[in-house]
Amino acid sequence: MTETKMEMTIISAVSNILPHAPLEQALHRVTEELGPPHFDDADRDFASRIRATLTEKDIASVYYAIGMDPNDRPLAHFLVPIEAKRNPLVGSTDVADVSWVVPTVEVHAPTLAIGTPLHTWQVVAQGKSPHAHKAIVQAAKAMASVGIKALNEPELIAAAKADLMKRRRRRRMSRRCQIMLLLLWRCRWHRISVTPDPAAAFQRPLLALRPDRDCEVSRCARALLWRCSSGCSANKGLDKDGHRTRGLLG
């Protein structure tokens, strides 16, 4: 309606966060020693009133994410076991990019009534509440304690760095394949399918592509696919134009 045009360039915040087992284990031990925040009856009463405005789906989604059975507690005054079978917690954080460069660990504090959806008036209503302050102070103590442990225990830093390098090697994508994917993102595709190929290096998934052959960008991308794939025994016999090409993603 306004005839406004916009061009977008993504420069950061594009990574999945890398977990780091040594730091996570250290943080969990520290939080076990500190214990949960000390909520009182007034905190629980206020959180219960907030909880009454939430849907059952909102509340259940939190317990699903942490791999625990739902209960009637309005605030999380418990520590999620480190061995709990967690499910993906969808969100975004700029620190994910950082986690690929240096070992990174996060702590989730019970500053909100269980089930509170983000970016809602319920979040605003609880932002300066006493229970939110208690939770964030406890989280700050935990993070500071892990920092002190890292300064006093060089073996923790060494283990964290080794864990990071191991995870990066496992998930590294070649620069050529990154360029190829960016080019293909701008093309029109007929079909995409992901299939495992045991013969591929590290048994990584392969991406089978059928881009529009009339697209100049697509032809360039197919050539890059061919270059990415030429070293893999599972991809022998590919032509230089990339027809019937499969490219390694890792």
- Same domain, yes or no: 82 and 199: no
pLDDT at 161: 93
- Same domain, yes or no: 179 and 149: no
- Same domain, yes or no: 82 and 100: yes
pLDDT at 198: 39
Residues 161-175: tens digit of each pLDDT: 999 998 887 766 544
**Beta 246-248 vs 189-196: how paired, if at all?**
unpaired
- Same domain, yes or no: 153 and 190: no
Residue 63 in any domain: the answer is yes
Spans in the chain with pLDDT lower than 50: 174-175, 188-214, 229-250
Find where tokens 């089930």 sit.
Answer: 115
Among 170, 185, 214, where does a domain finish? Answer: 170
Residue 7 in any domain: the answer is no
- Same domain, yes or no: 92 and 161: yes
Among 121, 155, 170, where does a domain finish? Answer: 170
pLDDT at 84: 81
From residue 19, alpha-carbon distances to 34, 75, 237 in Å are 22, 26, 39
- Same domain, yes or no: 214 and 143: no
Q: Are 114 and 75 in contact (CB under 8 A)?
A: yes
- Same domain, yes or no: 111 and 185: no
Which phi and psi (to 5°) does residue 199 adopt?
Answer: -80, -15
- Same domain, yes or no: 48 and 157: yes
Strand partners, 211: 189
- Same domain, yes or no: 159 and 200: no
**Beta 246-248 vs 205-211: how paired, if at all?**
antiparallel
Among 153, 170, 187, where does a domain finish? Answer: 170
pTM exceeding 0.85 = no
Report angle CA 100, 102, 107 to the nearest 5 degrees.
90
What is residue 88's three-state secondary structure? coil
- Same domain, yes or no: 42 and 163: yes
- Same domain, yes or no: 179 and 164: no
Residue 9 in any domain: the answer is no
Residue 156 in any domain: the answer is yes
Closest CA to 75 of 45, 55, 31, 103: 45
- Same domain, yes or no: 147 and 29: yes
Number of structural domains (the chain) is 2
Handedness of CA 71, 73, 75, 81 (dihedral sign): negative
Domain span at residue 132 reads 21-170
CA distance linking residue 199 with residue 232, whole number of Å: 8
